Amino acid sequence: MLYVAALSLVLACGGVAYAAPGTSDESDVARLRARGLAVPVDGVRASDLVDTYQQARDGGMRAHEALDIAAPRGTPVLAVEDGRIAKLFSSRQGGLTIYQFDPASEFAYYYAHVDRYAPGLTEGAGVRRGQVIGYVGSTGNAAMDAPHLHFGVYRLGPERAWWRGSPLNPYLLWAPLFNRR
Ligand SMILES: [Zn+2]
């Protein structure tokens, strides 16, 4: 999907409120990978994804620490696994965002720049893998002409606070699916 590859170079993309630094923990990645998470943009395959985790943001002041998935505005955003909506939040960088916890509230999935939420989506609601939770857009600091989903994965701390966690590279959750033959 050349569209994804080309756009990923020019996306100005939204950060997250999380402050805690962290590195990808291999065992966390392996555990999540084993769950067979859905790719969070409808119609996008794992083999279409481009690793944008280490890209510089804010003029090199920080790393991106997330995965950008380019798609036409209005493309459905899908929950990557079962869980619940922990927070619906609007921020300057991320625009309209969704924080979903996994079933054990160990991990948070962060979906940003969404154009709008799925009708009826509320904080605390349970969601199922593949459920439409919103639509791709360019809210926050995303370029208007480059709608995309900014998707992050964070290991939550013991306080299970939606705004605090350690990032891991979402690209790694799907990469083996197309590297393996
Ligand atoms: Zn991004």
Q: Is the dihedral of CA 118, 73, 76, 55 positive or negative?
A: negative
In the predicted model, what is the mean pLDDT of residues 97-107?
97
Cα of 48 from ligand 1 centre, angstroms? 16
Which whole-number Å values give the CA distances from 22 to 38, 60, 161, 178, in the listed order?
Answer: 24, 17, 16, 26
12 in any annotated domain = yes
CATH of the domain at 147: 2.70.70.10
Question: pTM here?
Answer: 0.84
Q: What pLDDT does 8 receive? A: 37
Does residue 181 sit within a domain?
A: no
Q: What digits encode the pLDDT tens for the residues 111-140?
A: 999 999 999 999 999 999 999 999 999 999
Q: Which domain holds residue 133?
A: 2-173
Give distance in angstroms: CA of 63 to centre of ligand 1.
Answer: 10
- Percentage, residues of the chain above pLDDT 90: 75
Candidates 123, 100, 86; CA nearest to 38 is 100
Distance between Cα 15 and ligand 1 center (Å): 7
Residue pointed to by tokens 């493309």: 75
Helix ranges (DSSP H) in 35-153:
none
* Neighbour-count burial of 26, counting CB atoms closer than 10 A to its CB (0-12 exposed, 13-18 middle, 19+ buried): exposed
Q: Which among 90, 108, 126 is positioned nearest to 165, based on CA atoms?
A: 108
Number of structural domains (the chain) is 1
pLDDT at 71 over 90: yes
Residue 147 has pLDDT above 50, yes or no: yes
Residue 71 lies in a domain: yes
- DSSP, collapsed to helix, strand or coil, labels residue 38 as coil
